[in-house]
Chains A and B, each alone.
Chain A
C-alpha cells in the first residue's frame, strides 16, 4: 500500500473532521463524508495459524471516504484507511465526466484497478466477508487487492437496444507488480465490459480483462493476468433476487530463480471463484461460494475452498451483520475450517447500489 506519514495525515484528518461533521452531506464547499468501520472475529483450526483454535476479535480496516464534485466537469474521491498496517491512502482520484467527447470518461490518481468484477469494489461492499482466495493468489496486490496509481480512459462502444459495451484502458505506475522494488516500470490494464438487460429486468454482464506488468524491474521479467467474468441477477417472487457471479483468471509469470544471472522460469497458474447470493425479505442475504486456484508455492497443486455466508442489514450498510463458514482444502494438506463474524457500521450519505 502507498503510505503517507501517518502522524501528519492523522493530524490533517483530525483538523478537517469537525468541518465536515457540521454538514455531513455535500454542500457547495463540503464533500460527502462517510466513515465505515468493522469488527471482525475469526476462529480457525488451521494449525499453521498462530491463532489456531483461539477466537480472535479485531477492529478491521476503518475507511474514511470523501467525495464530491470538484467543478461541473469533474468529481473527486478520496478513501483513507486505518488498519493494522497503519494509515494509508487507499484511493485518491479524479473522474472527468463532462467537457470531453460524449461517451468518454477519464480517471487519474490512485484507485482499485478495474480488472474483473470484484477487484474495483471495496471488500465491505461484498455480500460475504473475505476476498476470494483465487483473486488474492492470482492478481497483483494479493490480499490488499490490485490497487495502483494510474490514468484511465473509458469509451462506450456503439450499441443497440439494451446492450451496452464499454472499453477501458489504463496505464499504471506498475508498483503493484513489484512491491519490493522502488524503481518504476509501467503496467497496463484493458477491459471490455458488456451489459445486457433482458425484459427490462434481468441484467447480465460479461467481461474480459487483461493486465501486464513487470514483476522484477532489475531483470525486466513480466507477469500477465487474463480473465473473464460473468454476473447476472434474477428476480424471484416477492422481494427476493438471486445473484450469480463468477470470474476465471489465468496468470502467466516469468519468475527469476537466480538473482545473479536473471535466469527465470515461466509459471502459469489459473483459478476461479463462483458464488450464488440470495437476497430475501429486504434485509437478509445468504449464499455459497466455490473458490479454486493454483498457489504460487506449488503451481501443480490446487487449493479449493467452499464457503457459506449469511447477512442481515438493519438499515442498509449503516449496521450490517455477517457470518461465514469456510472449509478450505489446501492441496495435499488437511482441510481447514474457519468461522468468521463481521459487524459493519457506517455513517454518512447513502451510496447507490452498484450492480
Chain B
C-alpha cells in the first residue's frame, strides 16, 4: 500500500513538473510574440526572430534561430509572403513537433492585387498587403489564431487561455475606442508613408495614404517622384510622413526641407515582447502623430 501511494505521488509530481514547463513560442515578429504573451500568460515563453528595427521582409537566416525554434512548440508566422525567410528557419529547426500558425488567417486582407503580378510592379506582395497587425482589430484575429494553437498544444490549460483571450479582446476594444478618440481630429486627413507598411493603420484610424516615398515597393525614389510628392503634399495639405526606421533618410529629409512636412521615424513593430507591448506600440505611434 505504501509503495502504491509513494509511486502515485511520484507520478503526480512528475506530471505536475511537466505541466509547469512553459510552452515555448517562436514568432516572426515582436507584435505576434507580444499577443502570444498576452494570451498565454505565465504558461508560455515567447521570443521573436525579427526585432523592431529589422526590415521584416529581409531577416537573415542564422543557425542560432534554427536552434531556438528547434526547442519551440509553436511558430507564429506573419504570412502573406512577408516572412518567407521563416520557412528556412522552420525547416532548418528539424523540429517534427513544431506547430506552425499563419497569423493572417481570418484577416481581411487589403491591397490584394488583381490580375497578373510581376516584378514590373516592384517588390509587390502578391497575396495582399501583409502589415495587417497595424490595425488593432486584427490583433484580436491574431490572438484568436494563437488561442487555437495553444489549446491544441496544451489542452489542459484551455480554460486559462480562453480567459486571457477574452481579457485581451476586451482590453483591445477599450483601447481602440480611446485611440480613435485621440485620432478623431485627424480623421479624413492625408498622410504619406515611405513604404506601404501603414495601410492597415490608416484604414483603422480613417487616414488616407496620399502616396509613398517609394514609387514602387522596393524601388528607391527618383528626383521626379520626389518632386511629384512635393506637389501632392502642398496640394493636399499633407502634414505627416511615416518613415520606417530601416529606410534611408534622404527622400524624407528632402520632402521635409521643401514642404515642412513632419517626418515621424517609427517602427511598424513593437520593441519588446511583453504582454502589453502591442498596446504600448500603438500608444507611441498615436502620441507621435497627435503631438
The residues of A with any CB-CB pair to B shorter than 8 Å are 25, 75, 95, 97-100, 102-105, 156, 159, 162-164, 166, 193, 195-197, 200-201, 203, 205, 233, 239, 281-283, 314-316, 318, 347, 349-350, 352-355
Given contacts A102-B96, A103-B70, A352-B61, contact A97 B91 (CB under 8 A): yes
In the complex, per-residue mask of B29-40: 1 if CB is within 8 Å of any chain A CB, else 0: 000000000000
Contact of A315 among B64, B88, B123 (CB under 8 A): B123
Confirm or deny: B51 has a beta carbon within 8 angstroms of a beta carbon on chain A. Answer: yes
**B96:A99 contact, CB within 8 angstroms:** yes
B60 partner residues in chain A, CB cutoff 8 A: 203, 233, 352-355
Q: Is the CB–CB distance between B63 and A205 below 8 Å? A: yes
Question: Does B58 contact A353, Cβ atoms closer than 8 Å?
Answer: yes
B100-131 near A? 1/0 per residue, CB < 8 Å: 00000000000000000001001100100000
Give Cα A281–Cα B68 distance, bound, in whole angstroms. Answer: 30
Residue from the list B88, B91, B248 in contact with A281, Cβ < 8 A = B248
CB-based nearest B residue for A155: B94
A350/B84 in contact, CB under 8 A: yes
Instruction: Mark B residues whose CB is within 8 Å of A.
Output: 51, 58-64, 66-68, 70, 84-85, 87-88, 91-92, 94-97, 119, 122-123, 126, 218-220, 246-248
Closest A residue, CB atoms, query B122: A315
- Is B70 a contact partner of A195 (Cβ separation < 8 A)? no
- Would you call B119 and A347 a contact (CB within 8 A)? yes
A195 adjacent to B63 (CB under 8 Å): yes
**A197 with B62: CB separation less than 8 A:** yes
Picked from B87, B123, B248, the residue with its CB within 8 Å of the CB of A239 is B248
Least CB separation from A98: chain B residue:
B96
Report Cα–Cα, A156/B66, bound state, in Å.
Answer: 10
A316/B96 in contact, CB under 8 A: no
Return B93 CB to nearest CB of chain A, in Å. 9
11 A-B contact pairs sorted by A residue (CB < 8 Å):
A25-B126, A159-B67, A239-B246, A282-B220, A282-B246, A315-B219, A316-B58, A316-B218, A353-B85, A355-B60, A355-B62
* Closest partner residue, chain A, to B86 (CB atom): A352
- B94 contacts A283, C-beta separation under 8 Å: no
Query: In the complex the two chains form, what is the Cα distance from A3 to B246 in whole Å?
Result: 45
Complex-state Cα separation, A101 to B58, whole angstroms? 30
Main secondary structure of the interface of B (DSSP, over half): loop
Do the beta carbons of A195 and B62 come within 8 Å of each other? yes
CA distance A103 to B58 in the complex (A): 25
Quote the shortest CB–CB distance from B286 to chain A (angstroms). 26
Bound together, the chains give a CA A16 to CA B237 distance in angstroms of 54
The 7 closest A-B pairs by CB, nearest first: A164-B67, A352-B85, A195-B63, A197-B64, A315-B218, A195-B64, A355-B62
* Complex contacts, B61 vs chain A, CB 8 Å: 352-355
Q: Are A162 and B126 in contact (CB under 8 A)?
A: no
A162-B218 in contact (CB<8A): no
What is the CA–CA distance of A160 and B91 in the complex, to the nearest angstrom?
Answer: 20
> B91: which of A75, A159, A316, A349 is its contact (CB, 8 Å)?
A75
Chain B residue nearest in CB terms to A196: B64
Cβ contact within 8 Å between A352 and B67: no
- Complex: chain B residue closest to A25, CB-CB: B126
| Residue ID in chain B nearest A195 by CB atoms | B63
Q: In the bound complex, what is the Cα–Cα distance between A349 and B127 (angstroms)?
A: 13
Checking B84, B96, B248 against A352 with a beta-carbon cut-off of 8 angstroms, the contacting residue is B84
Q: Which of A97, A159, A352 sits near B94, CB closer than 8 Å? A: A97
Say which residue of B51, B64, B84, B95 sits within 8 Å of A164 (CB atoms): B64
Most buried by B among A100, A281, A315: A315
Task: Verify A105–B62 contact, CB threshold 8 A.
Answer: no
A282 touches B248 (CB 8 A): yes
Scoring A104, A347, A353 by chain B CB atoms within 10 A of each residue's CB, the highest score goes to: A353
Q: Closest residue of chain B to A73, judged by CB? A: B96
Q: In the complex, A354→B248 CA distance in Å?
A: 23
User: Which residues on B sit within 8 Å (CB–CB) of A97?
Assistant: 91, 94
Bound state CA distance, A233 and B59, in angstroms? 13
The chain A residue sitting closest to B71, CB to CB, is A159
Asked if B218 contacts A156 (CB within 8 A), the reply is no
* Distance of A104 Cα from B92 Cα, bound (Å): 9
Which residue from chain A places its CB closest to the CB of B216 in the assembled complex? Answer: A315
Tell me, in angstroms, the Cα distance from A343 to B210 when the chains sit together: 35
CB <8 Å contact, B64 and A162: yes
A201 and B51 contacting across the interface, CB-CB below 8 Å: yes
Shortest CB–CB separation between residue B92 and chain A, in angstroms? Answer: 8
CB-CB under 8 A for A203 and B246, given A102-B97, A315-B122, A353-B58: no
The answer to whether A104 touches B67, judged by C-beta atoms less than 8 angstroms apart, is no
Q: Assess whether B119 is in contact with A282, with CB atoms less than 8 Å apart.
A: no
